[in-house]
């Protein structure tokens, strides 16, 4: 039985198409990463899964239950950590947790205490007085104490430090192993999606594409920039590197293969001036939009037949949107959009009661949408820093071929000094 099966999902906000015949299958007990740039529709998808929004078309099944018709029952065994956390301002964390336990008919106070200690949270302050990081941790604990079979995380790196994010996924891995927890990870960070996911795909133009079996990845995707005047582009393309830019003295490749293979070619070609760093999501999306191929990761034979829902043909890989036209339309209608749809708005989401008359048409589609309040306490949280390994031949010794990632990390890992250009 699959944790999530979405078939031919379509969602529109007036004339703006967010999902177009969107298909998804998340296997029971896996962490599935959906990586999409800001505005791709990740939050909209989460809200549809939890019946806070109604789709225009399509079916959603969660552990073989109808996600729309049986949404109340589905919520009893699912957990959701939204990107923006809004709860009862006048309650302390423990009161919020007790309310959740009562809803699920549970009394696991010991679990609450251990989780609060693990995520470094206390019960001294009301929710309104918590930092953004503390609020996110309240939402995480609140989702976990109900012992969900499915956990949906919407951009969990927002407001969490790298150390806290690692702690979260360490705990999730334990639950995955001991209780078979399934996780849908929605993120706009390529490194995070690839680091923590078992499988993953890329959301763009209302559909998923480029499904990868992330467990097989030896390292994060990389971008290689070479500043030598004359290089053999074909030598890099032969090992699966994708050419992004080809200008005299500035050649750029995307590479998602085995890193020691790349270092060997760099050595053989006697490349002297280069920078090798973690790719970002824009690099991946650029390749899909251009129709250029990226090496596929194998899917385990036992699961191979299950991937048909996610497979997309070349002709339906990407739907191009005219961002300026969409923004103009949004301005004309004054309709507040979802904070993660194809239209980007600088204004924060507000309660439906504060929306304009034009927005009420879309608000009618909301089903018990969670109340969002203003005035959150801002916290300057250290941004998540991925395990970005940067090799810069101008600041390190010339690269030599190595036969393992561990040796490569140890020998060539480079952190720029303060003040370096």
More confident residue, 153 or 394: 153
Q: What is the pLDDT of residue 9?
A: 94
Q: Is the confidence at residue 124, as pLDDT, over 70? A: yes
- Is the Cβ–Cβ distance between 100 and 130 less than 8 Å? no
Q: Is the confidence at residue 264, as pLDDT, over 90? A: yes
**Phi and psi at residue 120, to the nearest 5°:** 55, 55
Q: What is the pLDDT of residue 253?
A: 95
Residue 96: partners with Cβ closer than 8 Å, 6 or more residues away: 87, 88, 127, 138, 142
Report the range of poorest mean pLDDT among 50-54, 365-369, 373-377, 388-392. Answer: 373-377
SS3 category, 203:
strand
pLDDT confidence bin for 64, thresholds 50/70/90: very high
Domain boundaries, the chain: 2-217+290-316, 222-278+389-412
Average pLDDT score over residue span 118-122 = 95
Q: What is the pLDDT of residue 318?
A: 27
Q: Is the confidence at residue 319, as pLDDT, over 80? A: no
- Is the Cβ–Cβ distance between 237 and 219 less than 8 Å? no
pLDDT confidence bin for 309, thresholds 50/70/90: very low
Q: Specify the pTM.
A: 0.70
Average pLDDT score over residue span 131-154 = 95
How far is Cα 223 from Cα 256, in angstroms, rounded to an integer?
Answer: 9
Number of separate helices (H) and strands (E) present in the chain: 14, 15
Architecture of the structural domain at 2-217+290-316: 3-Layer(aba) Sandwich (3.40)
Q: Is the confidence at residue 137, as pLDDT, over 70? A: yes
**Burial of 106: CB neighbours in 10 Å, binned 0-12, 13-18, 19+:** middle
Q: Is the confidence at residue 65, as pLDDT, over 70? A: yes
Q: What is the mean pLDDT of the chain?
A: 76
């Amino acid at each position: 039985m699959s944790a999530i099966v979405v078939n031919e999902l379509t969602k529109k906000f007036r004339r703006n198409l967010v999902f177009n015949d969107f298909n998804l299958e998340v296997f029971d007990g896996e962490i599935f990463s959906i990586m999409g740039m800001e505005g791709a529709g990740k939050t909209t998808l989460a809200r549809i899964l939890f019946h806070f929004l109604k789709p225009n078309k399509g079916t959603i099944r969660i552990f073989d239950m109808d996600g729309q018709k049986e949404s109340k029952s589905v919520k009893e065994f699912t957990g959701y950590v939204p990107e923006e956390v809004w709860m009862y301002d006048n309650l302390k964390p423990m009161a919020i947790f007790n309310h959740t336990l009562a809803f699920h008919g549970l009394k696991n106070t010991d679990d609450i205490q251990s989780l609060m200690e693990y995520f470094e949270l206390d019960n001294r302050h009301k929710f309104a007085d918590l930092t953004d990081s503390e609020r996110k941790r309240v939402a995480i604990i609140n989702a976990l104490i109900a012992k969900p079979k499915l956990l949906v995380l919407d951009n969990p790196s927002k407001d969490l430090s790298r150390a806290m994010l690692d702690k979260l996924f360490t705990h999730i891995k334990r639950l995955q192993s001991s209780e078979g927890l399934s996780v849908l990870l929605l993120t706009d960070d390529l490194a995070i999606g690839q680091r923590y996911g078992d499988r993953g795909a890329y959301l763009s133009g209302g559909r998923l594409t480029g499904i990868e079996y992330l467990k097989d990845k030896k390292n994060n995707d990389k971008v290689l920039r070479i500043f030598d005047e004359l290089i053999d582009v074909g030598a890099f393309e032969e090992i699966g590197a994708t050419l992004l830019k080809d200008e005299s003295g500035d050649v750029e490749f995307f590479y998602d293969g085995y890193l020691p293979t790349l270092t060997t070619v760099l050595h053989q070609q006697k490349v002297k001036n280069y920078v090798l760093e973690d790719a970002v999501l824009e690099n991946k999306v650029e390749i899909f939009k251009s129709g250029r191929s990226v090496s596929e990761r194998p899917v385990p034979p036992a699961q191979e037949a299950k991937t048909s829902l996610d497979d997309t043909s070349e002709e339906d890989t990407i739907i191009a949107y005219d961002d300026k036209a969409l923004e103009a339309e949004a301005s004309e209608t004054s309709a507040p959009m979802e904070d993660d749809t194809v239209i980007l708005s600088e204004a924060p989401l507000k309660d439906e009661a504060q929306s304009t008359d034009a927005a009420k048409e879309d608000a009618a589609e909301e089903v018990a949408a969670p109340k969002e309040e203003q005035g959150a306490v801002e916290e300057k949280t250290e941004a998540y820093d991925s395990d970005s390994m940067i090799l810069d031949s101008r600041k390190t010794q010339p690269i030599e071929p190595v036969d393992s990632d561990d040796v490569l990390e140890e020998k060539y890992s480079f952190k720029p000094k303060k003040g370096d250009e």
